[in-house]
Structures are given as C-alpha cells and as structure tokens.
Structure 1
C-alpha cells in the first residue's frame, strides 16, 4: 500500500501516518488558544472538507494521488457545506465566523503551523484569496429564481448557477 498523502493546494503530508484524532484535536485546541477567531467546529469541518476533496480528486484520477489545489479545496468545502447543511450552509458558516474564502485559508495555514497539514514553499495565503463570494455562493442554490437571476450579473463560479 502506498504512503498516505494529504494535499491542500500544494500542501502535502506525504509518507506521514494517518492523522490521529487526538493529534488533530490537540492542534485545533492550540490554534484556538492562540487565536479564537473561528469556532472549533469550523476546523473539524475543514478536515472533513479536505477528506471529501481528496476522495473526489482520487476518484477523478483513477485512484492516483496528486496534490489538491487551494481552489479545489474551496470548491470541495463549498460542495460539502451544501450537501451537509443545505439552505442552512451560509448560516452555519456565519455561526463558525467564516465570512470568506480567506478565512478558510487562514485556518489551513494555522493547521500547517501546528504540523497537521503540510505545504510547499510556493504555497501562499493568496491561493485562497476570494475565489468566490462564500455566502452568496452558499445561498445561490436556494434563492427564488427571480432573485437569483438578478444576481446572475454577480459571478457565481465553479458550477453554481442561478
């Protein structure tokens, strides 16, 4: 069996043992102690979104491992939020104090600093800079058609249609 690989953008944990729940929990608590900007649930959801995205990428690559771009993680994060929370996805993100894609990137880099996510030298926070308007993108599938069509001039990228 190949070494496990977890990727975010070009953020890679290669050859590392699978992350233990207590290791991740300790990392999250250390981050929150230093910077309580985001709710603990947001970090666990980010990990679930990473797992969801890695699985999706592997399925699309005939099971082969490769890095996951920051944009792919953000799309996976959005898709999992819509799948798990439906019309309440935007509300849940607000509850966790996630207001933008940059907030997701901030959490990623906090977990990198704790050693539970990895990265390459070329990876930056700019990889997460406002790829799409988080809350508008989460709300769009549930808006009445006449409201959604008025917002169509506001770009809703990556497969979200009005």
Structure 2
C-alpha cells in the first residue's frame, strides 16, 4: 500500500466514524499539532487547551482574516469541535490519548468570534 492509498484508507475510516467534518478539518488539526511542535521545539503530548490555541494561531497564520470562514466551511465552529476531531484521530490511531486527557478539555477554550 502506497502513501496515497494509506491516506485514503485512513480518511475512509474517519468518514465512517464521524462525517460531521470535512476531511480537511482532520488534516488541519494534524498540521496545527505539527506547527505547535515545531514552534515549541517539543515532540510529544500537548494538552487539549494548548492544541486548541495552536489551531487558532495556525489558522490565523495560514488564512489570515478568512480563518473563521475557512474553519466554519470545514465544520469547525468552536473549540469543542477541535476536541471531537482530536478524539476521532485518536480512535483511528493517529493520535494517542493520555490517561488524564478528556474531551471536555477542549470546551470553551476561547470564543472563535473574538479570536
């Protein structure tokens, strides 16, 4: 199986688990995680609120004033959506959950309208 086939297989599993979000939303969250790791100079675990803020910062850097519109197009309306995406990525084996992690860690980290 080549990389494209692997990517398609993973995206198919994601769609089967949760079809609420555009495929790019999942790829965006993974890219935001990598963005944070590069910026922090650290690989490994990141707390939910920190990942939510990394998504905000990465979106603003990538999309500027259209960030909220782009994220909304993908189905991301608030930080709880980021948490739901993260937990699907955990379910398909792309991310690892720590025992202390909770999906509620992503609730109301910040208001997208004010970010």
Q: Which has the higher strand share?
A: 1
**Larger RCO of the pair (alpha carbons < 8 Å, separation 6+):** 2
Gaps of 5+ in 1: 1-19, 59-63, 138-162
Q: Please give the per-residue CA displacement for 1:102-130, whole angstroms capped at 9, x wherever unaligned.
A: 00000000010111110112111011111
Does the 8 Å CA contact 1:37/1:97 hold for their aligned counterparts?
Answer: yes
2:9 to 9, 12, 26: 26
Gaps of 5+ in 2: none
- Answer yes or no: is 1:50 the counterpart of 2:28: no
Question: What is the CA distance between 1:135 and its match in structure 2?
Answer: 3.3
Change (3 A) 1:27 1:91: same
Q: Please give the per-residue CA displacement for 1:66-91, whole angstroms capped at 9, x wherever unaligned.
A: 53221221111111100111110010
Give the total of aligned pairs: 113
Change (3 A) 1:71 1:123: same
Q: What is the rounded CA distance, in whole Å, between the counterparts of 2:95 and 2:69 in structure 1?
A: 27
Deviating 4+ runs (over 3 angstroms) = 20-25
Matched residue, 1:91: 69
Larger-gyration structure (1/2): 1
**TM-score of the superposition, structure 1-length normalised?**
0.64
Change (3 A) 1:33 1:127: same
**TM-score of the superposition, structure 2-length normalised?**
0.87
Matched residue, 1:40: 23
Q: Which moved more, 1:49-58 or 1:27-36?
A: 27-36
